[in-house]
Amino acid sequence: MNSTARLPHDERDGRVNAVYSSSASTWGSQVSKGRVKWFEAALKDFGFNRQNIMSTSSASGQSPETILSVENVFDGKVVRLRLYSIKLPSGHIGKREVLQHNGAVAILPVLPDGKIGLIRQWRTAANEWLLELPAGGIEPNEVPEECARRESIEEIGYKINKLSSLFECFLAPGYSSEVIYGYLAEDLEYVGAQPEPDENLEFVPVTLDEALALLDEGKIRDSKTICGLLAYARKIAK
């Protein structure tokens, strides 16, 4: 079940290598608040800030693409593959392969001792064991909050008495409609885990600093977990 640390490729451009090198020597000894400040400073170094990110979006919010047709290619239990024919403003006709998904939730559970509850599980698509936040797909006619409460009991055995929104993001908008709804789960009550028959999970409680150190070392590579940890670190650092 050992996770393999994978550091950034040597071929990355100089600015990325410089930022990563400085982080490797400083993040390990900093508290969570310092980590968040470093992360924000690194983003600014690359020219990202709220103002210029928002300014790149369309003023109208309307799609520049016209959908000409949609072909149903495959209907699975979790995803549905659709082939879109679209027309761009230039008149060019293009194709878009889209995986439609009901969405999912991720839960950052703060345990009674203050630690964060992660899980380690085998992911067939990634072909390795991954450290992740507890998560799961939203069932038909289920709202995200209900899904979060259900998945928390199923995967780690904790009933959530206090649930609040932490983040929301697209998983892979280049080809998928899946949205991840991230929640902060507090005031937990242990009632016993009820995993699905096809799930093989290991419960891994860690402190926030330990989780961020694992992130630094490349041992946490799951996108929803990275989003959740950074959002939580920013929240408590305010």
More confident of the two residues 62 and 58 = 62
> Which range among 8-22, 119-133, 171-185, 218-232 shows the weakest confidence by mean pLDDT?
8-22
187 and 232 fall within a common domain: yes
198 and 90 fall within a common domain: no
Question: In terms of C-beta density within 10 A (0-12 exposed, 13-18 middle, 19 or more buried), how is residue 137 classed?
Answer: middle
72 and 158 fall within a common domain: no
- Long-range CB contacts (within 8 A, 24+) of 35-40: 35/212, 35/233, 36/230, 36/233, 36/234, 36/237, 37/237, 39/230
Question: In terms of C-beta density within 10 A (0-12 exposed, 13-18 middle, 19 or more buried), how is residue 193 classed?
Answer: middle
107 and 18 fall within a common domain: no
Q: How many domains does the chain have?
A: 3
Mean of all residue pLDDT scores within the chain:
83
For residue 3, being part of any structural domain is answered with no
pLDDT band at 61 (very low <50, low <70, confident <90, very high): confident
Single pTM value for the model: 0.75
119 and 215 fall within a common domain: yes
165 and 176 fall within a common domain: yes
148 and 222 fall within a common domain: yes
Task: Output the pLDDT for position 55.
Answer: 43
Between strands 179-190 and 104-109, the pairing is parallel
Of residues 189, 196, 199, 202, which has the active-site annotation? Answer: 199
199 included as an active-site residue: yes
DSSP 31-46: -HHHHHHHHHHHHHHT
More confident of the two residues 24 and 110 = 110
Domain that holds residue 173: 103-237
